[in-house]
Structures are given as C-alpha cells and as structure tokens.
Amino acid sequence: MVLDIKTTFEHVEESDVHQETPLSFSISNSAVTKAGKTIRTYMNYSDSSGSHNISEEQFTNALLILRKYRENHTPCLVILSNLLQKKLDRLDISKDSIVSSRTKRLESISMKLVRFTTTRLSQLDDLVGIRVTLPDMKSLNKFTDDKVFCEIINSYYIDNNIKIHDYICEPKSDGYRGIHQIFNCKVEDKDFKIELQIRTKIQHEWATIVEILGSLNEVSFKTGEGEESYLQFLKLTSVLFSIEEKAPVISNYEKLTPAEVCIELNKLEKELRVIEKLKSVNSISFSEENTAAKYYLIQLDLESRETSILPYSDEQEANENYFRLEKTYQDSDRFDVVLVSVGDVNKIKEAYPNYFLDSNSFIERLNKLLIKYS
C-alpha cells in the first residue's frame, strides 16, 4: 500500500500536519545509495587493521546526506502519528495508550548498514518509526482488527504487500514480542518507509529492560550479544509474560510449565542479581519548559545517571541539535541521545523509560508473576 499525501490523505484535516514541516526532497536516489555505500565501507574498516580510500570529508558528507534523507521522512511520520491517535480515540482506547515516534540514531543506521551488507540505504525501513503502546491484549486486538481505510487493518495491508511481522503469534527467538508493520509513504514522487510497532504495556516493559540491561552491561542484547545467562533470563521473562497474556511463547519453551519457568528465573536471579542492579540505576531527569514543544531531544548520561530533556517547537532546530550531539558523541559510549515526539509531554518517560533507566514497572510485574505462578 502506498500512502500518498496528495491523494490518500486528501480528507485529513490541515491540523494533522505541522505547517512548518518542510517538503523538500532534493536528494536523488543515487546520492542516497552512494552515501550508504560510503558509510558502510568507512565503518567496516574503522575498527580493524584494514584500509579504505574513504576520506573523513567524504564520510562526513555521506552522514550529511543520511541526515537530510532521514529528516525527509518527517511529513509522513507526522501524518501517520495523527491518524493513529484518531484511530485510538475513535475506538475509545486512547486513555491508557501512547502514540510516540522516534528518529533512528545515525550510529544505529550505520551499524545496520554494516550488518546487512547487501541492503541499500533506501531499503532500510526503520529510519523513523512510530510505536503504539496499548494497555493489554484486548485493546491491542481491537486496534489491529479494526477495518477502516487509512488506519491499521491487517487484511488490507497484506493484500497490498505491506510487510507485517507478528512477533506476538510467533515471538522472536530472543523473546521479543510485538507487531511490526512497514508503510510505504509517497511524498512528491519520493518513496519513504515508516515502521510501526504495536505492543502491549507488558511487551513494552520487556523490550525496555533489554535496552537498559544492554546499556548497563555495554552490550547489545538486541543483536544477540552478551552473556548466555543474561540472554536466558530475558527469554524466560518473555515466556512468563507471554503466559500471563495467554499468548504463544518462544519456540522450544512451550513444554515448560509456569512453575518451571519461575524456578529457572529464580535461579538466574540469584546468580545475576538483575533486579538489584535495576533498582540501583534510576536516573535523575532535568527538563526545560516549552508548552509549544512538538519534539523532545532526550540525552542520557550513563556515567552520571542523569537524563536531560530539551523541548523544541521548531523541527529544523531539533534536527540540527540532534545531529550536532550525534556527531559530538559518536565515539563515546557514555551518552545516548534520541529525538522523539509524544503527544503528551507527561508520557515521555512512560514511552521511553530506557532513557531514564526506569525499570520500576518491570520489576513490580516480574515479582508479582513469580509469586503468582510459583
């Protein structure tokens, strides 16, 4: 399915699109492809003894093209976010749900180009993304089963070759659960891809802990790195949460009873002391006030355990400062920066708890379930 702002969205209210959002798409497809190849080549040899003929200037110029290409996704991101919020309102499930969007970090994009050696930059479908977090499986099913044009409908997208990955019915081998859908969005004859993630609160809590533990251990559990004991802890936690939601569990774990899952989790907890570690690291947050803000730049200092939130009403200013900080911290593991948009500023921490090292909900839920199923 192609989402065309000039046609598909012709009945969308003008207020659904920020008027300052630039519709400038001067970057050619060939320039984007070339930039991706330059970044991949440079990154492949930056941490090895090999050599390449990519100069620092060429690499910087490639990053600038990537930055502009990433920013050009914004019009589609804004419109789809508004449509999703309208859908939640119409279905009367918006009260405890959150629509949030984020712009993928340049470092993450670059490393993905390295991991997927044959993928062109223009083929990446998660440079920008939207997440809808719903309170439970009942509301999630109501959301995904709804059959309304321009909103999330399973059969329509399947018929139109939109990619859907249902990791709730078939959880990933690492324990990740959620539904991912890829939208093809067309603006001024340019095609962009937007990733939508749909999760329940329980699924979001689990994914958040993967991020937080990864930050604390300086590994990427998301990509399979880290000690096997931690990976097993995350898998078993996912299984327990799946049982609570009466949903399918990871393959090869189906025969475990809830009590057996709890026994194994308790053993690993005694060995790893995960809950104790998580309790000790909630960050202190600082925020500037801006009632007109539409974008928020979140910066986590893993050394001082401090999180700062910088609000912006101007998209271009937000993107410029985001890029500046990304360049500043590109060789540092101390800082984690992300540019996000959330309809309600009070829900930033709930939408992105990993940037606040906030694991309270996860700890509370895990403790309750360990008691319930032991």
pTM: 0.85
Question: 292: left (phi > 0), else alpha (psi -120 to 50), else beta?
Answer: alpha
Q: What is the CA radius of gyration of the chain?
A: 21
181 shares its domain with 59: yes
52 shares its domain with 196: yes
Paired tokens of 53: 């003929």
Instruction: Encode pLDDT of 68-81 as tens digits.
Output: 999 988 888 888 88
Paired tokens of 43: 């990154």
User: Which of 169, 200, 231 is where one domain is finished?
Assistant: 200
319 shares its domain with 179: no
pLDDT-above-70 percentage for the chain = 86
Beta bridge pairs of residue 341: 101
Residue owning tokens 């909103």: 151
Residue 275 exposed, middle or buried by CB count within 10 Å (0-12, 13-18, 19+): middle
Whether 187 is in a domain gets the answer: yes
The identity of residue 160, as a single letter, is: N
Instruction: Encode pLDDT of 129-152 as tens digits.
Output: 999 999 999 999 999 888 665 454
User: What would the 3-class secondary structure string for the chain be?
Assistant: CEEECCCCCCCCCHHHCCCCCCCCCCCCHHHHHHHHHHHHHHHHHHCCCCCCCCCHHHHHHHHHHHHHHHHCCHHHHHHHHHHHHHHHHHCCCCCCCEEEEEECCHHHHHHHHHHCCCCCHHHCCCCEEEEEEECCHHHHHHHHHCCCCCCCCHHHHHHCCCCEEECCCCCCCCCCCCEEEEEEEEECCEEEEEEEEEEEHHHHHHHHHHHHHHHHHCCCHHHCCCCHHHHHHHHHHHHHHHHHCCCCCCCCCCCCCHHHHHHHHHHHHHHHCHHHHHHCCCCEEEECCCCCCCEEEEEEECCCCEEEEEEECCHHHHHHHHHHHHHHCCCCCCEEEEEEEECCHHHHHHHCHHHHCCCHHHHHHHHHHHHHHC
Cα–Cα–Cα angle for 99, 103, 106, nearest 5°? Answer: 160
CATH assignment of the domain containing 158:
3.30.460.10
Handedness of CA 86, 87, 91, 94 (dihedral sign): negative
Whether 369 is in a domain gets the answer: no
Paired tokens of 165: 């990955």
188 shares its domain with 299: no
Question: 96: left (phi > 0), else alpha (psi -120 to 50), else beta?
Answer: alpha
Whether 114 is in a domain gets the answer: yes
User: Which of 200, 220, 249 is where one domain is finished?
Assistant: 200
43 shares its domain with 170: yes
162 shares its domain with 34: yes
Instruction: Encode pLDDT of 316-355 as tens digits.
Output: 899 999 999 998 988 888 899 999 999 887 889 999 999 9
Mean pLDDT of all residues in 359-371: 97
Distances (CA, A) of 341 to 1, 15, 174, 195, 198: 25, 16, 28, 15, 16
Whether 214 is in a domain gets the answer: no
CB contact at 8 A, 177 and 247: yes
Q: Tell me which residue range forms the domain holding 80.
A: 2-200
CB contact at 8 A, 356 and 362: no
Whether 313 is in a domain gets the answer: yes
6 shares its domain with 150: yes
Confidence check: pLDDT of 11 > 60: no
Whether 250 is in a domain gets the answer: no
163 shares its domain with 309: no
Mean pLDDT of all residues in 74-93: 88
185 shares its domain with 289: no
The identity of residue 60, as a single letter, is: T
CB contact at 8 A, 71 and 138: no
190 shares its domain with 43: yes
User: Which of 200, 215, 233 is where one domain is finished?
Assistant: 200
12 pLDDT band, cuts 50/70/90, is very low
186 shares its domain with 291: no
pLDDT at 257: 98
pLDDT at 6: 33
Confidence check: pLDDT of 298 > 70: yes
Instruction: Encode pLDDT of 201-255 as tens digits.
Output: 999 999 999 999 999 888 889 888 899 999 999 999 999 999 999 999 999 999 9
154 shares its domain with 12: yes
pLDDT-above-90 percentage for the chain = 56
Lowest mean pLDDT among 10-24, 127-141, 161-175, 264-278: 10-24
Whether 344 is in a domain gets the answer: yes
Whether 367 is in a domain gets the answer: no
Dmax (CA) of the chain: 60
Give the closest residue to 21 by CA, choosing from 78, 99, 82, 81. Answer: 78
Confidence check: pLDDT of 35 > 70: yes
Bridge-based pairing of strands 128-134 and 98-103 is antiparallel
Mean pLDDT of all residues in 37-64: 80
Q: How far apart are CA 292 and CA 288, in angstroms?
A: 12
Mean residue pLDDT of the chain comes to: 85
Mean pLDDT of all residues in 54-62: 90
Lowest mean pLDDT among 52-56, 116-120, 134-138, 256-260: 52-56
Give the chain's domain count. Answer: 2
